[in-house]
Amino acid sequence: NAGVTQTPKFQVLKTGQSMTLQCAQDMNHEYMSWYRQDPGMGLRLIHYSVGAGITDQGEVPNGYNVSRSTTEDFPLRLLSAAPSQTSVYFCAVSPSTNYGYTFGSGTRLTVV
Protein backbone atom coordinates (compact mmCIF):
# COMPACT_ATOMS: atom_id res chain seq x y z
CA ASN A 1 0.00 0.00 0.00
CA ALA A 2 1.31 3.42 -0.94
CA GLY A 3 -0.56 5.28 1.85
CA VAL A 4 -0.69 8.93 0.80
CA THR A 5 0.85 9.91 -2.54
CA GLN A 6 1.54 13.52 -3.48
CA THR A 7 2.60 14.75 -6.88
CA PRO A 8 4.64 16.53 -8.02
CA LYS A 9 7.47 16.53 -5.46
CA PHE A 10 8.90 19.81 -6.73
CA GLN A 11 7.42 22.63 -8.80
CA VAL A 12 8.49 26.09 -9.90
CA LEU A 13 5.78 28.48 -11.05
CA LYS A 14 5.77 31.98 -12.37
CA THR A 15 3.59 34.57 -10.66
CA GLY A 16 0.06 34.35 -12.03
CA GLN A 17 0.26 30.78 -13.24
CA SER A 18 -2.17 28.17 -11.99
CA MET A 19 -1.55 24.55 -11.09
CA THR A 20 -3.00 21.58 -9.23
CA LEU A 21 -1.24 19.65 -6.49
CA GLN A 22 -2.40 16.06 -6.42
CA CYS A 23 -3.09 13.93 -3.35
CA ALA A 24 -4.23 10.31 -3.52
CA GLN A 25 -4.74 7.83 -0.69
CA ASP A 26 -5.35 4.09 -0.61
CA MET A 27 -6.20 3.94 3.10
CA ASN A 28 -9.95 4.46 2.65
CA HIS A 29 -9.95 7.29 5.22
CA GLU A 30 -12.76 9.83 5.15
CA TYR A 31 -10.82 12.82 6.40
CA MET A 32 -8.31 14.56 4.12
CA SER A 33 -6.53 17.86 4.65
CA TRP A 34 -4.03 20.19 3.04
CA TYR A 35 -1.38 21.94 5.11
CA ARG A 36 1.42 24.30 4.27
CA GLN A 37 4.69 24.43 6.19
CA ASP A 38 6.83 27.55 6.27
CA PRO A 39 10.09 28.21 8.15
CA GLY A 40 9.48 29.43 11.69
CA MET A 41 5.78 28.61 11.57
CA GLY A 42 3.80 25.56 12.49
CA LEU A 43 1.85 23.60 9.92
CA ARG A 44 -1.19 25.63 8.87
CA LEU A 45 -4.43 24.17 7.57
CA ILE A 46 -5.55 25.34 4.13
CA HIS A 47 -8.64 23.24 3.35
CA TYR A 48 -10.06 19.98 4.53
CA SER A 49 -12.69 17.39 3.64
CA VAL A 50 -14.70 15.06 5.86
CA GLY A 51 -15.85 12.90 2.95
CA ALA A 52 -16.56 12.84 -0.77
CA GLY A 53 -18.47 15.95 -1.79
CA ILE A 54 -17.77 17.80 1.48
CA THR A 55 -15.05 20.41 1.86
CA ASP A 56 -14.41 23.36 4.14
CA GLN A 57 -11.89 26.13 4.69
CA GLY A 58 -9.09 26.02 7.15
CA GLU A 59 -6.89 28.74 8.60
CA VAL A 60 -5.30 30.04 5.37
CA PRO A 61 -7.64 29.27 2.44
CA ASN A 62 -7.20 32.39 0.29
CA GLY A 63 -5.80 31.69 -3.16
CA TYR A 64 -6.57 27.98 -3.03
CA ASN A 65 -9.47 25.80 -4.15
CA VAL A 66 -10.31 22.19 -3.43
CA SER A 67 -12.87 19.59 -4.44
CA ARG A 68 -13.44 15.99 -3.40
CA SER A 69 -15.31 13.85 -5.89
CA THR A 70 -13.97 10.50 -4.61
CA THR A 71 -12.75 9.11 -1.29
CA GLU A 72 -9.28 8.60 -2.76
CA ASP A 73 -8.41 11.98 -4.27
CA PHE A 74 -8.21 15.50 -2.88
CA PRO A 75 -6.52 17.93 -5.29
CA LEU A 76 -5.44 21.44 -4.27
CA ARG A 77 -5.65 24.14 -6.92
CA LEU A 78 -3.66 27.35 -6.94
CA LEU A 79 -5.71 29.81 -8.93
CA SER A 80 -3.11 32.51 -9.62
CA ALA A 81 0.21 31.79 -7.96
CA ALA A 82 1.87 34.45 -5.83
CA PRO A 83 5.35 34.49 -4.23
CA SER A 84 3.65 34.28 -0.81
CA GLN A 85 2.52 30.79 -1.78
CA THR A 86 6.09 29.54 -1.91
CA SER A 87 6.00 26.77 0.67
CA VAL A 88 6.01 23.05 1.29
CA TYR A 89 2.55 21.54 0.96
CA PHE A 90 1.44 18.40 2.75
CA CYS A 91 -1.64 16.29 2.30
CA ALA A 92 -2.79 14.44 5.42
CA VAL A 93 -5.44 11.78 5.99
CA SER A 94 -7.06 10.29 9.07
CA PRO A 95 -9.91 7.90 9.83
CA SER A 96 -11.58 10.35 12.20
CA THR A 97 -11.07 13.55 14.15
CA ASN A 98 -9.46 11.98 17.20
CA TYR A 99 -6.77 10.08 15.32
CA GLY A 100 -3.40 11.34 14.22
CA TYR A 101 -2.70 12.02 10.59
CA THR A 102 -0.83 10.07 7.98
CA PHE A 103 1.02 12.64 5.88
CA GLY A 104 2.23 12.49 2.32
CA SER A 105 5.84 13.25 1.48
CA GLY A 106 5.08 16.81 0.42
CA THR A 107 5.30 19.12 -2.59
CA ARG A 108 7.92 21.85 -2.50
CA LEU A 109 6.55 24.82 -4.46
CA THR A 110 8.48 27.89 -5.47
CA VAL A 111 6.72 30.87 -7.04
CA VAL A 112 8.99 33.35 -8.80
Which chain residues interact with another protein by CB under 8 A? 4, 31, 33, 40-45, 48, 50, 56, 58, 90, 92, 97-106
Q: Is 18 or 38 the residue whose CB approaches another protein more closely?
A: 38
- Strand-pairing partners, residue 43, are none
Q: Quick check: 17 and 65 in contact, CB under 8 A?
A: no
Q: How far is the CB of 77 from another protein (least distance, A)?
A: 19
Q: Is 14 or 42 the residue whose CB approaches another protein more closely?
A: 42
Q: How far is the CB of 35 from another protein (least distance, A)?
A: 8
Q: Is 48 or 74 the residue whose CB approaches another protein more closely?
A: 48
Strands 10-13 and 19-25 come out as: unpaired
Q: How far is the CB of 14 from another protein (least distance, A)?
A: 24
Positions of E strands within the chain: 4-7, 10-13, 19-25, 31-37, 44-51, 54-57, 64-66, 76-78, 87-94, 102-103, 107-111
